[in-house]
Amino acid sequence: MTSGTLIRQARMRAGLSQLALSERSGKDRAQIARWERDVVQPSLETLRELLQACGFDLELSLVPFSPPDPRRDARLQKALERTPQERLQAMLRARRR
Amino acid sequence: MATKFDPYAVLQALERQRVIYVVVGGLGRVLQGSDELTDGIDIVPLLREDNLRLLERALEDIKARRPDGKPVVLVQDLARGPVLELATAAGELKLVPEPAGTRGYDDLRRHAKREPIGQGLRPSVASLDDHARMLSALSREQDQEPLLTIRRLIELEHGLDRGRSLER
């Protein structure tokens, strides 16, 4: 999840256009578009203000972090390239082994 | 009761009765790309009376029983706890009316997608973001690994999406 995805998701769930969010939050519409596309990242405070303008709040918590594992990433990347049907078949085959 | 896991049999029974639901849990995560193994199906049914009647019929078709071996009395059994675990002829089926961190079917259906899985089935599957939300809310030790996987999948998928949009 990126800040851009979060802003876009909150805006869509609130049924707002970028212009409407701009008016509600007092932020520039073009800047909102850049944030949503993750071209630039807003500060945490700005992100929270934007989400609040959509009627949501940001809840942050500390969660375990595991550094990227290239082998695992390769496996997951391959899974993402498969269709859901292929993913299910692969899991059922692995269960039988 | 046979213990063979046959997700197609369970989902076909639900489809035959036109039950409205979203797939969550291990199978939902596998369909979204997680590399874990699972031997059951978790679903979040729409709790409307007519849908529960259809679900009850589907449960009869797959010979669903409560863990104590007794037949299912759906509305009563659903009210007993947050998860109704059932044994069926095709493996374990869990009914979860309101998974942790969500407000149930209406909440999950918004970002759920119908995923083709073969045999003419296209179950509605909860989104990766919603899977992360549910696992985070559970805060259980055993969910940490699947949660890390889902978070990584979200990041990788985002990277893929970005790549695709640049290609256009």
Beta bridge partners of B113: B125
Cα–Cα distances in Å, from B79 out to A95, B75, B83? 33, 6, 9
Give me the CATH code for the B7-127 domain, please: 3.30.460.40
Query: Could you tell me if residue A37 is inside a domain?
Result: yes
**Are A11 and A48 in a shared domain?**
yes
Which residues, including other chains, have CB under 8 Å from residue B21's CB and lie 6 or more apart? B14, B43, B44, B45, B46, B55, B105, B123, B124
Per-residue pLDDT reduced to its tens digit, A57-87: 998 877 777 788 899 999 999 999 999 999 9
Residue B50 pLDDT greater than 50, yes or no? yes
Average the pLDDT over each of A19-28, A34-43, A57-66, B5-14 and give the range with the smallest value.
A57-66
- In chain A, the residue whose alpha carbon lies closest to the alpha carbon of B115 is A84
Angle between helix B128-138 and helix B144-167 axes, rounded to 10 deg: 160
* Closest residue to A84, CB basis, from B5, B117, B162: B117
d(CA B20, CA B54): 9
**Are A72 and A49 in a shared domain?**
no
A54, B11 contact by CB (below 8 A): no
pTM tops 0.90, yes or no: no
**Chains A, B: CB contacts under 8 A, how many?**
72
Q: Which residues of B touch A92 (CB under 8 A)?
A: 5, 7
d(CA A67, CA A58): 24
**Are A48 and A7 in a shared domain?**
yes
CATH number of the CATH domain containing A42: 1.10.260.40
pLDDT at B2: 45
**Coil, strand or helix at B111:** coil
Domain carrying residue A81: 68-97
* Nearest to B78, CA basis, from B61, B63, B62, B59: B59
d(CA B45, CA B68): 22
* H-assigned helices in chain A: 3-13, 18-25, 29-36, 44-53, 70-81, 84-96
Complex ipTM: 0.88
Interface test with B, best of A3, A7, A65, A76 (most B CBs within 10 A): A76
